[in-house]
């Protein structure tokens, strides 16, 4: 059963605002983690105001890998949740 449907109607707007705030916070955390990881891994020289071609390539590759990994983890988590939901469904009867 959908957990949101179990929340009383008068509490749903507050719940949805809280959920949106959590999602925004998680997105910002993920973005900040991406920037920190790729910066530490790829930026090696401070002789110029701009990134070298090698640093640009490294940052691009790092960001692409991070996004793909994050998506894969999300998909696997969704699969896991679905499997748990199916396993719990016979118990609900």
pLDDT in tens, 14-58: 988 998 999 999 999 999 999 999 999 999 888 888 999 999 999
DSSP state of 47: S
- The per-residue pLDDT for 20 is 93
Is 16 part of any domain? Answer: yes
Is 1 part of any domain? Answer: no
Share of the chain above pLDDT 90, in %: 58
- The structural domain count of the chain equals 1
pTM for the structure as a whole: 0.66
Is 73 part of any domain? Answer: yes
Is 2 part of any domain? Answer: no
Contact 43, 57 (CB under 8 A): no
- Structure tokens that stand for 92 in this block: 């609900």
Residue with tokens 């699969």: 79
Residue 93 has pLDDT above 70, yes or no: no
Is 88 part of any domain? Answer: yes
Is 3 part of any domain? Answer: no
Residue 1 has pLDDT above 50, yes or no: no
Domain that holds residue 13: 8-92
Domain of 74: which CATH number?
1.10.287.810
pLDDT in tens, 46-90: 888 899 999 999 999 999 999 999 999 999 999 998 888 888 776
Is 84 part of any domain? Answer: yes
């Amino acid at each position: 059963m959908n957990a949101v449907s179990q929340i009383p109607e008068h509490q749903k707007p507050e719940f949805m605002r809280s959920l949106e705030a959590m999602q925004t916070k998680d997105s910002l955390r993920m973005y900040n983690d991406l920037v920190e990881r790729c910066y530490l891994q790829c930026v090696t020289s401070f002789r110029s105001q701009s990134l070298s071609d090698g640093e640009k390539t490294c940052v691009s590759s790092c960001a692409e890998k991070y996004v793909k990994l994050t998506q894969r983890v999300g998909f696997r988590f969704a699969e896991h949740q679905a499997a748990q939901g199916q396993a719990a469904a016979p118990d609900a009867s």
